[in-house]
Every structure is written in structure tokens, then in C-alpha cells.
Amino acid sequence: MGSINSKIQYWTEIAEYDLTTAEAMLETKRYLYVGFMCHQAIEKILKAVYVTKFHGEMPPYTHRLMKLSLVTDLYDKMTQDQRDLIDSLGPLDIEARYPTIKRDLSPSLDHDRCIHFITQTKGLLHWIKQQLPI
């Protein structure tokens, strides 16, 4: 994939794309996918930090935000609100793809909660980007 900087740029660009997709999903009232794309955005920016911390090594094949935030040493630096977001977004990835769980999650995701997710995700994404060398 190239240099460390190109890997960081790759993960950062995908994270930003996923956040933009979350906003598009909000416009179309696809609330489950707002949460899913917010999760994806944070997952990918954490993977950019992983690449930085481990000198270009490919990030692990995991979707667990808690694991990624711990292995990158960011969790202890996060505010309580940022940690709460990590906890809230956690179940909105893989589990959200299964019909039974999707049905259970959908009622908890309304317009206001999704706006909150997007706002919080933007803030956390920005903060994590500040931890990157580029």
C-alpha cells in the first residue's frame, strides 16, 4: 500500500467518506445506517492511528472500537463523552447486519439520536486526526 503517510491518508479519507455517508443516510431517514457509518468512520480513523503507532503495519481485522482504541493507547486519553460514544457505536456494526438484532436496534435510532451520533462522531474523528502525524 506504500509509505506510512499514504496508509494514514488512505484510512483517513475512508473515515471521512464514511462520515459523509452517515450524513446522507440521515437525510434519507435510514437511521440504522447512520449508526453503522458513524461506527465505520471511527473504526477507520482508529486504524489510521494504528498504522502510525505500529510503523506501517496493517491494522487487525477487527471492528471492535474498544479494542482499537485500547491498542492505539487512545482510550485513556479520551473524555468520558468520547468513551461513551465508543460504547454506543460498538453494537452498531456487525450486529446491525443480522435481521433479529437489526429489528431490535432500529427503534432506538431516531432522528435526534442520529444527529447526536453524527455530531459526536465528527468531534471524535477530529480529535483522533489531531493525534496523527500528518
Q: Is 65 exposed, middle or buried (0-12, 13-18, 19+ CB in 10 A)?
A: buried
The whole-number pLDDT of residue 91 equals: 83
**Sign, CA torsion 117/119/122/127:** negative
Q: Which residues of 40-58 are buried (b: 16+ CB within 10 A; e: fewer)?
A: bbbbbbbbbbbbbeeeeee
Query: Which whole number is the average pLDDT over 101-127?
Result: 85
Q: Once rounded to an integer, what is the mean pLDDT over residues 79-91?
A: 94
For 4-130, CATH gives: 1.20.120.330
Given a cut of 70, whether residue 38 has pLDDT beyond it is yes
Q: What is the pLDDT of residues 44-67, one digit of tens each?
A: 999 999 999 998 888 988 899 999
In this model, does residue 94 exceed pLDDT 70? no
* Range 34-43 average pLDDT: 96
pTM listed for this prediction: 0.90
| CA 65-93-124 angle, 5° bins | 45
Q: Are 97 and 118 in contact (CB under 8 A)?
A: no
C-alpha distances out from residue 41 to 85, 99, 104, 116, 127, Å: 12, 23, 23, 15, 13
- Domain spans of the chain, in order of start: 4-130
Residue 106 pLDDT: 57
SS3 call for 134: coil
Give per-residue pLDDT as tens, 8-36.
999 999 999 999 999 999 999 999 899 99
